[in-house]
Amino acid sequence: MTFDPVHQDDAGWWFYDETWADRHGPYACEKTARRELYAYDEIVLEGPKTFMVVFEYRQRKRWQLVIEGTFNDAASAVQRDNPGSTIMSITRLGRAADYPSEEKKTIDG
């Protein structure tokens, strides 16, 4: 599964917020949707934070990874470092300084 909060439908280009419950748009083109996503990330989410990403990787084991950065950074890092993984959830933990970064551990068998 490829993770990307920016997507297109018949009405135009959209992006999902950090909860994946709401989407923003439509925008005329992908470039504008991405620019608005980055603006949302920096303004609404107040810049770099720490995110916990839970994902399945290799033999369906679930992993938890804590990543400092933006929402997009968290998703991209998991996909880059764990190709073929499926992201189950991304949770914003808070300010980056409050959590250790790059902690990866299995959360089941």
Residue 107 has pLDDT above 50, yes or no: no
pLDDT of res. 1: 46
Look up residue 59 and give its two tokens: 């033999």
Question: What's the domain count of the chain?
Answer: 2
Q: Are residues 68 and 102 in the same domain?
A: yes
Q: Are residues 56 and 38 in the same domain?
A: no
Q: Exposed/middle/buried for 9, CB within 10 Å: 0-12, 13-18, 19+? A: exposed
Q: Are residues 55 and 92 in the same domain?
A: yes
Residue 18 forms part of a structural domain: yes
Q: Are residues 54 and 14 in the same domain?
A: no
Q: Are residues 38 and 54 in the same domain?
A: no
Residue 39, domain extent: 6-43
Q: Sort strands 23-27 and 86-95 into parallel, antiparallel or unpaired.
A: unpaired
Q: What is the mean pLDDT of residues 93-103?
A: 56
Residue 1 forms part of a structural domain: no
- Tens of pLDDT, residue by residue over 41-91, are 776 766 567 777 888 877 777 888 788 777 777 888 888 888 888 888 777
Q: Are residues 56 and 79 in the same domain?
A: yes
Determine the Cα–Cα distance for residues 89 and 52; give it in Å rounded to an integer: 8
CB 75, CB 59: distance < 8 Å: no
Residue 33 forms part of a structural domain: yes
Radius of gyration (C-alpha) of the chain in whole angstroms: 14
Residue 23 forms part of a structural domain: yes
CB 25, CB 37: distance < 8 Å: no
Residue 99 has pLDDT above 70, yes or no: no
